[in-house]
A = this chain, B = another copy of it.
Amino acid sequence: MQRNLKYAILGLLCGEDLTGYEIAQKYGDTLVQFWNAKHSQIYPELKKLTEEGAVEYSVEISSNMLEKKVYSITEEGRNDFLRWLETIEPMPHTPKDIFRLRLFFSNYLDDEKRMRLITEQLSEHEHRRDWLIREMNKFNGIVPQKGTPEFADYLVLTGSIMREESQVNWLNRCRLLYGE
């Protein structure tokens, strides 16, 4: 029983009250670097969390008829989240990587197709890296105050950029080695 989605939601609700729709949006923005979830998973989870007493909601009516449920975390939910946050779990397996799986078997491909595989992957990681660097620009080169949410955001972004950078370096080396 991991219940990671539960804590991914509770963590967001620790900072502000949100609707299910807004939570889903966060997993398309900032959090997409290390987490994502579709609304079809979020709505049932919020229902479950409400039943468990970890969150509660009030219905707001915007404009005229459009209803939305604004969720907030309860005392109980917050304590549960904080307990989870400080627990040290054994690291999970290295995540599955389909590109590496293909590359591992790439001796069954001819040179041209193998090179295409690598080049394509390289360009995707370069785009991802460039997007992350643009995200980083929102800090204007100023490292946020230690202990703030912005600082944590900054650290995670730094890590993502370094990861993509290393991926790009590796793929370039692969190209070189095959190109020789």
Contact = CB atoms under 8 A, between A and B. Distances in A.
Interface of A: 4, 7-8, 11, 14, 31-36, 81-82, 85-86, 88-89, 91-109, 111, 113, 116-117, 120-121, 124-125, 128, 143, 146-149, 151-153, 155-156, 158-160, 162-163, 165-167, 169-170, 173-174, 177-178, 180
9 contacts: A4-B96, A4-B101, A7-B101, A11-B101, A33-B94, A106-B152, A107-B147, A107-B149, A146-B177
Question: Interface residues of A: mostly helix, strand, loop or mixed?
Answer: helix
B152 A163 contact: no
A100 B34 contact: yes
B34 A101 contact: yes
Contact of A103 (B36, B92, B155): B155
Contacts of A120: 88
A103 B166 contact: no
**Oligomer copy total:** 2
Contacts of A151: 107
A71 to B, nearest CB: 17
Contacts of A160: 94
B156 A104 contact: yes
A156 B173 CA distance: 11
Nearest to A100: B34
B86 A117 contact: yes
Nearest to A93: B36
